[in-house]
Amino acid sequence: MLDPIHGYSVRGTYRFLTTRAEPATKNVINNVWHKLVPSKVSLFAWRLLQDRIPTKSNLVRRHILQPNDNLRVGGCCDTETSYHLFIGCALFGNVWNLVCQWLGIYLVFPESIKEHYLQFTQIATLPRATHAFLP
In angstroms, rounded to a whole number, what is the distance separating the alpha carbons of residues 69 and 86?
Answer: 19
From first to last of its 135 residues, the chain has per-residue pLDDT tens of: 456 666 677 777 777 667 755 555 556 667 788 788 889 988 998 999 888 999 888 898 898 888 877 666 566 667 888 888 888 887 777 888 888 888 777 777 778 888 888 877 777 665 554 444 444
Asked if residues 84 and 76 have their Cβ atoms less than 8 Å apart, the reply is: yes
Rounded to the nearest 10°, the torsion over CA 36, 127, 83, 94 is 100
Q: Residue 67 and residue 65: Cα distance in Å, rounded?
A: 6
Q: Is 130 helix (H, G, I), strand (E, B) or coil?
A: helix
Distance of CA 106 to the CA centre of its chain: 14
